[in-house]
Amino acid sequence: MKPQSIELDMLIGAMIERTLKDGALAWECLKRLHGVLEKEFDLKHKLELKEGYGGADHRASADKQFRVLFAPVYERLNHCSV
C-alpha cells in the first residue's frame, strides 16, 4: 500500500471520529437550548433524534460502526512495513 493511501485512510478515520464527537457535543447543546426555550418561553415541542442516533448507547454504537467500517484499513496498516 502506498504511503499516500495510508495517510488518506488515517485522515478519513480521524475525520469520522471527530464528526462523531462533534455531533454528540452539538446534541448536548441543542438539548440545553431546548430546555431554556421550554422554561423561559413556555414553548412545548418535541426534540428527538432519528432512530439509530442518540440515546445512552449512541457512543458505543458509533464506535462499533467506526471499527466495522475501518477494520480493513487498520488490518492493512498492521501488515504494512514502512
Kindly give the residue spans of alpha helices, DSSP state H, lying in the chain. Answer: 3-41, 58-78
Task: Return the higher-pLDDT residue of 46 and 72.
Answer: 46
Q: What is the pLDDT of residues 51-82, one digit of tens each?
A: 766 654 555 666 666 667 667 666 665 555 44
Quote the pTM value.
0.57
Residues 6+ apart with CB under 8 A from 70: 9, 12, 13, 16
Whole domain around residue 65: which residue ranges? Answer: 3-78
Number of structural domains found in the chain? 1
C-alpha to C-alpha distances, 15 to 9, 21, 22, 44, 80, nearest whole angstrom: 10, 10, 10, 36, 22
